[in-house]
Amino acid sequence: MNEQATAQSRQLNLRPLVASTPGGSAPQFRVQIQSEEHCGWQMIGTFVDQEIADHCAMELQMRGIIARVVAARIFPVAA
């Protein structure tokens, strides 16, 4: 994560995902920014609430950063 994204995520008071369910993780919404350093998208936050994720992405976009929200519903866990 670049320093600018790190500072901005702190300013937005990101709330990390902490819940999980049997057989996988709870539904989550990932906020990603377009990263020139990594030639693609870089995750900067994970949220349980889509409204908060959307707000985070909107705040980043208002600051001139290309951001998106990716809905992730099911993730397998390691056995």
pLDDT tens for residues 11-66? 555 555 444 555 556 678 999 999 777 788 999 999 989 999 999 999 999 999 99
CA angle 48, 3, 51 (to 5 degrees): 20
| CA terminus-to-terminus distance, the chain | 29
* Six-digit token string for 45: 């936050």
| Domain limits, the chain | 3-40+50-72
Partners of 45 in beta bridges: 31
What stretches of the chain show up as alpha helix (H) in DSSP? 3-11, 50-62
Q: What is the pLDDT of residues 18-27, one digit of tens each?
A: 445 555 566 7
